[in-house]
Amino acid sequence: MTQQTWLTQEAYDRLRSELDYLTGPWRTEIAAKIEAAREEGDLRENGGYHAAKEEQGKQEARIRQLADLLRDAQVGEAPAVSGQAGPGTIVEVRFPGERETEKFLIGSREDHSTAIDVFSPASPLGGAVTGRKAGETVSYTLPSGRSAKVEIVSVVPYAS
């Protein structure tokens, strides 16, 4: 099952442009590099050929990743919410013992179009607050295996 990802319009446009470049001009360029390296002779000892093939493999993986992300993306305006944290919302949290709060957007890590930190709903903190409302305290497991708690202070739709 694929998970729908929320992206700002700016992030969607940037990622779409990257995908268009990789599937068009870049593929032409890498094919030319591979062909030029192939013409140099023995492929077993041809560093340029192997480097170009490795680059091709990495970028083809990126093409698949972008295509999957963009195919299932929810783009643009944040979804209408009733104070419930989820993709497209800005969540303000407070950690126990802290007076300061932290805000983050629940969205895609690929979204670099906003100055606020972005947490995926698949991340430990993003997943813990998704579906929750202001005033709730939730526990989640850190990557280190330790448990942590956070209080949700507010949840508002993202506005660019």
Give the C-alpha separation, 128 to 122, whole Å.
Answer: 9
Phi, then psi, of 114 in degrees rounded to 5: -125, 150
| Domain residue spans of the chain | 5-75, 89-157
Whether the pLDDT of residue 7 is over 50: the answer is: yes
Whether the pLDDT of residue 41 is over 90: the answer is: no
- On whether the CB atoms of residues 74 and 88 are closer than 8 A, the answer is yes
- Measured N-to-C along each axis, helices 47-71 and 9-21 cross at an angle, to the nearest 10 degrees, of 140
Please report which helix (H) or strand (E) contains residue 10, including its range: helix 9-21
Please report which helix (H) or strand (E) contains residue 152, including its range: strand 147-157
Q: How confident is the model at residue 92 (pLDDT cuts 50, 70, 90)?
A: very high
- On whether the CB atoms of residues 155 and 133 are closer than 8 A, the answer is yes
- Give the type of residue at 83: G
Strand boundaries in the chain, DSSP class E: 5-7, 73-75, 89-94, 102-106, 117-119, 137-141, 147-157
CATH fold for domain 89-157: Chitinase A; domain 3 (3.10.50)
Closest CA to 106 of 67, 92, 43: 92
CATH of domain 5-75: 1.10.287.180
Give the C-alpha separation, 112 to 82, whole Å.
Answer: 26
- Give the type of residue at 56: Q
Structure confidence at residue 68 (pLDDT): 85
Mean pLDDT, rounded, for 113-132: 86
Q: How confident is the model at residue 129 (pLDDT cuts 50, 70, 90)?
A: very high
